[in-house]
Every structure is written in C-alpha cells, then in structure tokens.
Amino acid sequence: MDRTEANSGTRAVPERLRIDVAALDAWMRNHVSEFSGPISLSQFKGGQSNPTYRIDTPGRSYVLRRKPPGKLLPGAHSVDREARVMAALGETGFPVPAILGICDDENVIGTPFFVMEMVDGRIVWDPTFPGLSAPSRAAHFDAMNATIARLHMIDPLEVRLGDYGRPSGFVERQVSRWGMQYENDVEAGRSPAMGRVLAWLRANMPPDRGESRIVHGDFRCDNMIFDDTGPRVRAVLDWELSTLGDPIADFVYHMLMYRMPAGLFTGLRGLNFHELGIPTEEDYVASYCERAGRDHLPDRDYLVVFVTFRLAAICHGIRGRLARGTASSAHAEATAALTEPLAEMALAEMEDARL
C-alpha cells in the first residue's frame, strides 16, 4: 500500500459515516465562536479508528472528530479524552490544534464528537520524508525528537491532567489491556505468534519505575503537521491512545520506525541513513536522552517487544472492526493485513531480547 496515496486528502463521506449536516450546522452556530455556514463536509482518508471530517464554510475550515457508530469494544474511541488532553496541552504552547467545541449529546450527529481548528501544513506519510535534502531531512527528524521530549517534560499536575491516568503500573496495565483485547476479539481471528509473544510479555514484566508523564501512544511522523516551509512541528494529532504512563515506552514506540523494514508501515530498516541524512537509531536515542535528562533507555529490549505487540494488536483490532462492519478507513483491509507481519516481528524481537 502506498501510504501517501492512500491517506492524503479527503473523500466523499460513505453512507455508514454520514452526518446530518443541518443538525451539525445548528450545533456549531450555538457552540463554536464566530461560526458561519453553510457547511460542506468530507472525510479525511487517513485514520483507522475515530472518523475525522473536514468542514468547509465560505470563511473558514474546521476539523471534526467523532466516535464511530456501531458495536465498539468497551472503553475505546473516547473522543472526550482526546479533546481534554489537547486543550490542556494547548495552554502550555505545545503544538496541538485548538479545541473549539465538544459535544457529548449523541442526538446531534449520532455519536459524541469535537470540533477543532484546521492547522495548515504538511502531513508526511512516508518516514523517509521524500523530496527533502539530507540536511532538511535530518532537521525534520530532530524536530520530531524535540517534540516528543518536550511532551515528556510537561508535568501532568501543572496542566490539570493529574487524573488523566493511573500514576503507576503503566506497562503492566497496557500488556493486560492489549492482551485482553486480542484474546477477546475472536471475530478478528487468532495468531500463534501473538499468543507466544503475549505469554512472554506476561512472564517477563519488568519492575515498575513509577514514572508518570503524558504519553501520546501513537507518536509517528504521520500524526504530525509540519510547517510548509521548514522542519517545525505545527501540531501533533490523534491523541486517542494518550494517557499518563511511562515516557520511555512512548519513545520506544516512536523509535520502532528503526526496527521495522522499509516499506512496512513506517519502517526505516535497511535504508542508507548517512546518504538520506537520517540519524541512526543510537544517535536518535542519544538526542532524546540528552533532551529528557537521561543517560539510557531502561528496559529497552522488553519495551521494543511490547510496543511491537501492541501495534500488531491495534491492527488485529482493525481486522475485528472489518469483520463487524465498523472500520472507519477506506484502506482498513490493508492495515489489518499487517497483523501477522508485525506479530512475527514482535516474535523475532522477543527471541533477540536480552533481559
């Protein structure tokens, strides 16, 4: 799958995800400052979980993100949490879109939703940042590195997010959550590799370090908007998996791009980093550690296995939504097909892990 082609731009809203435009227009007139219709609605191609729409009016464009309709797994698709964390981080100057309105009334468009500003810039779906010079590519990687380090330096208590998640036991809870979601979603099928990895993760749980920071949960180049003119992150998107948790696990997930083969999801392995201007994994880790005041990444091997399994579990969940007819993206089938390659990758990392 060409991820840039598959995810860029918008499409007509499919029948299952259509919204009552008149009802949305009326709600926005009452809840979004300076709004003036009429509305033209389309759906962004990217995104696998919470459907995301572009709202165009004669004077301004907006973005709407909603909980999908249909049968859903318990606790998933909490758009109110996304809106809350983005609003709090925006007050610190961290790059997120401004939240303009939140609606928990299912009678308006059928499910809860929020409206945020439309941030201009570039979304980069190819992790090699095609078309850039080597120095510019290096600068974009440095901007990503600085942004995630900045996120992890924010004190949750100072931004009224002290109750956004539990303050300890993050990795254990995550292994439990994704393990149960995998085991319970029988409609998505079974994977021998995932079963083996899950058993290993449960048997080799590292001691909890007690670190609690705001974690994004899905920090990748395609969940950011870059400035049109240079290597500056203008907004970080898709906060559905955010919570309070282990910042090292959050960074290791971001670092996973170095372990995945080029052409698989957002993989870089096998490329000539020097020629492209991409820092090596070790240099990238060193930059993060320096910014975050660390000398190493504790439990790195275990966390690599865990975040790879988690990504496979996410794709497995999309496979389940396909089976139930609730998948939001037009290319959900291609993403669901990544379940087994990612499970096998997690198994290989497990076998190489040094604990």
pTM of the predicted structure, to 2 decimals = 0.91
Q: Residue-wise pLDDT tens for the chain (355 aa)?
A: 566 666 678 889 988 899 999 999 999 999 999 999 899 999 998 665 789 999 999 999 999 999 988 665 555 567 999 999 999 999 999 999 999 999 999 999 999 999 999 999 999 999 999 999 999 999 999 999 999 999 999 999 999 999 999 989 999 999 999 999 999 988 888 999 999 999 999 999 999 998 999 999 999 999 999 999 999 999 999 999 999 999 999 999 999 999 999 878 789 999 999 999 999 999 999 999 999 999 999 999 999 999 999 999 999 988 988 888 877 666 778 888 889 999 999 999 999 998 7
Cα 286 from Cα 292, distance rounded (Å) = 10
Report CA-CA distances (Å) from 60 to 18, 52, 120, 319.
Answer: 21, 17, 12, 36
316 vs 84: CA distance, rounded Å: 27
Domain residue ranges of the chain, discontinuous segments joined by + = 3-117, 134-352
Mind giving me the DSSP string for 92-161? TT-S-PPEEEEE--HHHHSS-EEEEE---SB---STT-TT--HHHHHHHHHHHHHHHHHHHTS-GGGGT-
Structure tokens at 42: 């389309």
State in words which class domain 134-352 has.
alpha beta
Q: Is the peptide bond before 38 cis (omega within 30 degrees of 0)?
A: yes
Q: At what angle do helices 300-324 and 192-203 cross, to 10 degrees?
A: 140
Which residues is 40 bridged to in the sheet?
56
Considering the four listed CATH numbers 3.40.1390.10, 3.30.200.20, 1.20.120.160, 3.50.40.10, the one that applies to the domain covering 3-117 is 3.30.200.20
- Going from the C-alpha of 329 to that of each of 16, 86, 161, 299, 335, the distances in angstroms are 11, 23, 31, 34, 9
> Do the domains spanning 3-117 and 134-352 agree at the CATH topology level?
no
The SS3 call for residue 239 is coil
Strand, helix or coil at 31? helix
